[in-house]
Amino acid sequence: MNESVRSGKDWRKAVLPSGSSLQQAIACLNESSFQIVLLVSSDGVLQGTLTDGDIRRGLLRGLSLDSSIESLVNLDPLVAPPQLGREAVLQLMQANRIHQLPVVDDCRHVVGLHLLDELMVPKRRENLMVIMAGGQGTRLRPHTENCPKPLLPVGGKPMLEHIIERARGEGFNRFVLAIHYLGHMIEEYFGDGGRWQVSIDYLREESPLGTAGAIGLLSPRPELPFLVSNGDVLTDIRYGELLDFHCRHAAMATMAVRLHEWQHPFGVVRTQGVDIIGFEEKPITRSHINAGVYVLEPAALSLLRRDEHCDMPTLFARLQEQSERTIVYPMHEPWLDVGRDDDLKRARAAHVAVE
């Protein structure tokens, strides 16, 4: 088989039985990290595919995690035979603008999976990434009494280092760290970024300005769309995909959001006046929450005043008042906002499990 095809057990992580639920598909995506699910029959015949983008569109349409994926499946995906060479595969994938290509035999049994990311070296991205690393982390005391929150270790290295290394792996090489509380420790650890083969500069806040207020200090201002991330968010989000999503939709600002489900602990009685008009047994409320990762156009900075405190939702509201397009990027990847001691314990436990 062509050496560029996933072999052994790897590609099988993307396989899921037909008729699975959205939750099972998301779990499959997160387990494999291939951004595609291969739906197969009981005898291994490819029935269809489901991509990362299909799931995001389903979430935006209001599908719940228990919903069937039947309406989202591509029943006629592009496939390749095992004997197709690397260059031909690469041309086929680029011509059709696809990132994954199932490999099937003459009987349409799945025998492998081509991944564009493995066929190509990640492209260098000149877009800036700003990381908020100035918070005092009061909810994490005593851990943060003598250590800034972004430097707290998870899996043997600071949380901030995980963020930088993940972004670097997707071609990002220019970073700005917004620092305030114990900022000198962050500067001493990361320096100019040379240890990681990236460039790191710093925004030094004299007083906390909020996420949007801090980026108002950028000088010179970026010429390209740029990413902003909280320094305490650990996630497997694909920063490059988020940036591309923002550009494809011609937005002024994009906010990564995460589906949050909350189940009411009691049965709910619906009333109209004194009359009972219905019952709901422990209903589930679904909403999108801010995941703390954004993409902004440079022009968005014109709505910020230097040294003014401003959080990101306020900036988005100002953009909406100016009739600028602001959009969401629905994410399903593993995500953890490390704000409390329990969150830190979960983050550390998750990395120990991976290792």
| Every domain of the chain and the residues it spans | 11-119, 125-354
What confidence tens digit (pLDDT) does each residue in 282-324 have? Answer: 777 777 778 889 999 999 999 998 878 898 999 999 999 999 9
How much is the pLDDT for 243? 93
How much is the pLDDT for 353? 35
Question: Burial, 180: exposed, middle or buried (Cβ in 10 Å; 0-12, 13-18, 19+)?
Answer: buried
> For the chain, how big is the Rg over CA atoms in Å?
23
The token duo for 126 is 């000149």
Q: How far apart are CA 181 and CA 200, in angstroms?
A: 18
Q: How far apart are CA 169 and CA 329, in angstroms?
A: 21
Q: How far apart are CA 158 and CA 156, in angstroms?
A: 7
Question: Partners of 45 in the beta sheet?
Answer: 109
How much is the pLDDT for 52? 84
How much is the pLDDT for 354? 34
How much is the pLDDT for 124? 84
How much is the pLDDT for 345? 66
Between the CA atoms of 221, 132, 60 and 267, what dihedral angle is there, to the nearest 10 degrees? -150
Question: Strand, coil or helix: what is 341?
Answer: helix
How much is the pLDDT for 267? 83
CA angle 133, 333, 10 (to 5 degrees): 120
How much is the pLDDT for 9? 47
Side chain identity at 52, as an amino acid letter? D
- According to the CATH classification, is domain 125-354 in 3.90.550.10? yes
How much is the pLDDT for 137? 66
**Residues in the chain, pLDDT under 50:** 1-4, 6-9, 352-355
- According to the CATH classification, is domain 11-119 in 3.40.50.1360? no
Q: What is the pTM of this model?
A: 0.67
How much is the pLDDT for 1? 44
